[in-house]
Structure 1
Amino acid sequence: MLSLTPTELLAWRGFLHAHDTLWKALDAELTADELNLPAYELLTTLQEAGPDGLRMTELARRVRFSGGGLTRLADKLQAQGLIERRRCATDGRGWEAALTEQGVKKLRRVHVRHLRAVRARFLDRLTPAETELLAGLWPRFQEEDQ
């Protein structure tokens, strides 16, 4: 039977447990602002895209959601007044999403507190060299042909 070395097992399980712990803690902190991590990521992705927003298909790709999952989250955020969806100006068949003014304001309020939590729960526990090492490693796992 195939097995992992003790060090490999610690590395793998450590990653899984660290991800789970960080995700739950950061997600719980965002609930005070009636958001969760996927919603926060969607809002920041739209902010980075600028005032024109993004096509829904591109947004789904960037936030790693299925079309249906993105639609449900977008419905919720639109109902809260944080995003708007409209027909694409260049292609009437497609839809695009953009932050509303209310979405920009909410993101501004939440952003600083969230980044402080990311720093306290993750970055402050690493040396600058470890942070640089991790930043260089993650792209290896984002390749589609893995």
Structure 2
Amino acid sequence: MTTRWLSPAEQRAWRSYVSASSLLEDTIDRRLQAEAGMPHLYYSILAMLSEAPDRRLRMTELAEILKITRSRLTYAVTRLENDGAVQREGCPTDKRGHVAVLTDEGMALLERTAPGHVETVRAAIFDHLTPEQVGQLEEICESIARAIQGENSGACREDLPWRRRSSTS
């Protein structure tokens, strides 16, 4: 099989993406650590739960939304549970499943932290883009996500993070 090397334009785009995504994640993490003592992932868990009906989501669904492994989610939810921001309950429809629930304390933490998070995201990304570029960014990211998830092929990809079996299970 012959390697399809990146063209110079593709190489520049790839390196720009890697640089921007690394800087963005670091910027968001530093702000959230300074303001709330939590990494971006923990904030994302709180935000997703706050938008869910009754502020609760099944753990497998939450892992899929966040595009992370179930074991990584379990670790993060355990930490948030220890801090009183989230609690875990048994799933009423599946004895093996669990539901993550955003507590009132977790909601208050999210409400205190959200303005700084939005300010950071706006300053790092959206203040530098035209409305047309915002639409293009969304389209590009959705296209990449669909391709990686195999949505166009109709296949159920078992190698996606939220479907992986933990090596310790």
Give the TM bin, normalised by the shorter chain: over 0.9
Give the gaps of 5 or more residues in structure 2: 153-169
- How far is 1:91 from its partner? 2.7
2:30 alignment counterpart: 28
- How far is 1:2 from its partner? 4.0
Change (3 A) 1:2 1:94: closer
The 5-angstrom pairing of residues 1-146 of structure 1 reads 2-32=4-34, 33-143=36-146, 144-145=149-150
- How far is 1:4 from its partner? 2.1
TM-score by length of 2: 0.82
Per the alignment, in what secondary structure is the counterpart of residue 25 of structure 1? helix
Per the alignment, in what secondary structure is the counterpart of residue 99 of structure 2? strand
Q: CA RMSD in A?
A: 1.4
Give, in whole Å, the separation in 2 of the partners of 1:68 and 1:91: 19
TM-score by length of 1: 0.94
User: Larger RCO: Structure 1 or Structure 2 (Cα < 8 Å, ≥ 6 residues apart)?
Assistant: 2
Per the alignment, in what secondary structure is the counterpart of residue 20 of structure 1? helix
Give, in whole Å, the separation in 2 of the partners of 1:24 and 1:49: 27
Give the % identical residues.
33
- Which deviates the most, 70-79 or 83-92? 83-92
Aligned AA for 1:131? V
Give the gaps of 5 or more residues in structure 1: none
- Which deviates the most, 3-12 or 80-89? 3-12
Question: Which deviations, in whole Å up to 9, do the C-alpha atoms of 1:87-130 show, x marking residues without a partner?
Answer: 11233332101100000000001001100110001110111111
Give, in whole Å, the separation in 2 of the partners of 1:141 and 1:74: 28
Change (3 A) 1:99 1:5: same
- Which deviates the most, 41-50 or 106-115? 41-50
Give, in whole Å, the separation in 2 of the partners of 1:90 and 1:6: 53
Aligned AA for 1:40? Y
- How far is 1:38 from its partner? 0.6
